[in-house]
């Protein structure tokens, strides 16, 4: 089993901790305490406004705020962002010193301060490409033809020498 997001992107849960063998939520008393706490907190957050939108519009124009689609940080100090402002959060976290607040209660306040001070991601900053998969669309491994998974060998019979790869190259990470 893998990790899944529930309700909002960002927080990821081990499937086996949350779901039973039929894919139904386990009773709360069977879920580990930390996971149970995050799930209970998530229930309160799932319809909350994006905090970046809120910083722009305030309580007076709360109707102008997008509903949050992603949650980052620790419970009770989490940052909630919509799709429009998720790149701003990710840019701040990766490029503007937000990483130093990882796991800290100050994460939310530090992001809010940066954003309120006109901190924004550059226009070409893409953030994360999300792939949403309906579990019903994932093929059953027992039904996949092994021939479909076969990797073709180069026609010239040459092997790829991994020593020739540029391992100093910076690759994107998530």
The Cα-based distances of 149 to 145, 157, 174 in angstroms read 7, 19, 26
DSSP secondary structure letter of residue 162: G
- Residue with tokens 């998720």, as numbered in its chain: 86
Q: Is the pTM of this model over 0.75?
A: no
The neighbouring-strand residues paired with 79 are: 72
What rounded mean pLDDT belongs to the chain? 82
> What kind and span of H or E run contains 8?
strand 8-14
Q: Are 108 and 77 in contact (CB under 8 A)?
A: yes
Give the model's pLDDT for residue 70. 95
**pLDDT for 124-165, tens place per residue?**
887 776 555 555 554 445 555 555 544 455 565 555 454 454
């Amino acid at each position: 089993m893998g990790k899944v997001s529930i309700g909002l992107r960002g927080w990821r849960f081990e499937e086996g901790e949350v779901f039973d063998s039929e894919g139904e939520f386990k009773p709360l008393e069977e879920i580990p305490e930390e996971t149970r706490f995050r799930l209970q907190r998530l229930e309160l957050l799932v319809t909350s406004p994006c905090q970046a939108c809120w910083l722009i519009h305030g309580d007076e124009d709360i109707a102008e705020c997008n509903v949050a689609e992603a949650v980052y940080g620790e419970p009770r100090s989490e940052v909630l962002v919509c799709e429009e402002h998720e790149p701003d959060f990710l840019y701040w976290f990766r490029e503007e010193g937000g990483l130093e607040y990882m796991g800290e209660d100050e994460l939310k306040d530090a992001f809010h301060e940066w954003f309120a001070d006109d901190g924004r991601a550059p226009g070409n900053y893409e953030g994360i490409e999300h792939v949403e998969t309906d579990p019903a669309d994932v093929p059953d491994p027992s039904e996949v033809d092994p021939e479909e998974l076969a990797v073709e060998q180069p026609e010239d019979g040459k092997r790829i020498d991994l020593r020739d790869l540029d391992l100093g190259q910076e690759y994107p990470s998530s």
